[in-house]
Amino acid sequence: MLEGRCTYDELARVAGVSEATAWRRLGALRREGRVWIRAVIEPVLLGLPVEAVLWVRAVPAAVGTVTAALSCSAHVRYVSFVTGERQLLVLAAFPDEAALHDFVTRSTWLRDTASVDVSMVLGSLERGGMLAPWLGD
């Protein structure tokens, strides 16, 4: 199934079972940790209309420290290690451009960075993602 959003009736039809059976089976899969429900909310609905992509070049010995600090920020939605000239890709959302400016000029994690490139997001066509606990920590 390509679309994860569906009713129990639709799920039952695809699986060839009754709606009650689909409900019970999905409940069991959730309890066993085989299926997770994840909501992806548009930041603007939370009062965060300014989104940015940050490419962070950290001091090599401090990548872990920078990552930990970014991960704790309420503005940061996603942090990932990447290859290339920069080690970190960060997706963040802010209430206004002034808050974004403060984040990239006054945050304490900046002490351990060599550079930060910022791109403002003009629009998003798709949002989503999947947790992958089998990949480990």
CATH number of the CATH domain containing 100? 3.30.70.920
Coil, strand or helix at 28: helix
Which pTM value belongs to this model? 0.71
- Whether 69 contacts 107, CB under 8 Å: yes
Instruction: Classify residue 91: in a domain, yes or no.
Output: yes
Residue 135 lies in a domain: no
Could you tell me if 33 and 90 lie in one domain? no
* C-beta of residue 76 within 8 angstroms of C-beta of residue 90: yes
Tell me the pLDDT tens digit for each residue of 95-129. Answer: 999 999 999 999 999 999 999 999 999 987 766 65
8 and 55 share a domain? no
Whole-angstrom distance, CA of residue 31 vs CA of residue 26: 9
Q: Are residues 53 and 105 in the same domain?
A: yes
| CB 120, CB 50: distance < 8 Å | yes
128 is a domain residue? no
> Which residues of the chain register pLDDT less than 70?
1-4, 126-137
Instruction: Give residue 5's pLDDT.
Output: 77
Indicate if 9 and 47 belong to the same structural domain: no
The residue among 90, 125, 84 whose CA lies nearest residue 107 is 90
Pair (52, 109) in one structural domain: yes
Sequential DSSP letters for 74-98:
TTEEEEEE--SS-SEEEEEEESSHH
- Range of the structural domain that residue 52 is part of: 43-120
